[in-house]
Amino acid sequence: MPENSLTIRSLTARAVVAPLARPLRTASGEIPASPLLLIDVATEQGITGRAYLFAYTKLMLRALKTLIEDIDPLLKGKPCAPQERAAEFERTFRLLGRQGLLGMALSGIDMALWDVLGRALNQPVVALLGGTARPVTAYDSFGLIDIREDARRLEQALAQGFRAIKIKIGGGSLEADVKVVREVRGIIGDQARLMVDYNQSLTAPEAIRRLQALAQYDLTWVEEPVPAEDLIGHAAVRASRLVPVQTGENWWFAADLAKSIQAGASDHAMPDIMKIGGVTGWLKAAALAEIASLPVSSHIFIEASTHVMPVTPTALYLEYLDSAGAILKDPLPVIDGAVTARGPGLGMEWNESAVAKYAA
């Protein structure tokens, strides 16, 4: 082992349920708070790397924590080399597959390993990837809209400099969708971009029916109108040419992106860094998206996404949805509708008093 290599000493995880500034309601369920698993990779050299996983439901936190702890022996004593560890994990779990909780765990570990490298060099991860920490244009991400409560929040988003807004729809009838899209468009005006997200709640024919009524509102994209795994359904919605189709937050590693490209399933790509394989997997996905000329936007995980978006050739938008700010010492600010990466590493420090307060 090279004398200057960083050696992994331990892998630990803690579960928290942190408050969200804006609890999320979707057509597929409600997320009232943020169930997070905090990952720490400690090295023999005294440097600790950090990352977190978003579990969607508190029910999965115990299983994820146990999984991370069970992976610890596979890493102990090995170099902190994300590419090598990712290749090793692929071999180890080839017969099982790397979807679901395992895919999330491996992605989180990868992010923490990159964080170690950045901290060791006192550089942000984006610099290690050959980029610079620059403002990444973001859109503000809303759940299902209650216009009585959210009109003020939409106006505040515009005041923060956001020039793109995404809302979730599909919680009721077509008429309800049309009403809320019309009302939101009226608040944000014609110059701001508007995206809608159905969260996998429709069939392809129903999605096409609804988009025929919504297309007049100049939508930048419709996100996951049908179940994520239904590539044929996504391709059918895309073929209607009513509204550009966005999908990708449920791709597992770059192989799923390749399958989606082959199926012609979307006009836009939205990898989730927790499912695409962490920073290492993101780089592979970004290369495929460039070849396919797919604009790439990130999915949540604003801290890590600000590091990979500047080195993504077809980068479009960072999704601004702050799921971890309540347990960070210094959450990322929005400045004129954009967010900029921090260092060293991924630039995150746990607020230990908040971690203790929200421990699950």
Asked if 16 contacts 359 with a C-beta cutoff of 8 angstroms, the reply is yes
Is 331 exposed, middle or buried (CB count within 10 Å of its CB: 0-12, 13-18, 19+)?
Answer: middle
Q: How many residues does this entry show for the chain? A: 360
**b or e along 42-80 (b: 16 or more beta carbons within 10 Å of the residue's beta carbon)?**
bbeeebbbbbbbbbeebebbeebbebbeebbeebeeebb
Active site residue 168: yes
Contacts for 92 with CB less than 8 Å, ≥ 6 apart = 74
CB atoms within 10 A of CB 321: 23
CA distance 352 to 11: 18
CA distance 332 to 182: 31
- CA end-to-end span of the chain: 39
Contacts for 84 with CB less than 8 Å, ≥ 6 apart = 78
CA distance 184 to 196: 11
Asked if 114 contacts 345 with a C-beta cutoff of 8 angstroms, the reply is yes
Residue of 166, 168, 275, 284 with catalytic role = 168
Active site residue 299: yes
β-strands 136-144, 48-54: how paired?
A: unpaired
Residue of 234, 268, 284, 299 with catalytic role = 299
Q: Which two tokens stand for residue 18?
A: 């942190």
Angle at which helix 100-121 crosses helix 278-291, to 10 degrees, equals 100
Catalytic residue IDs: 168, 299
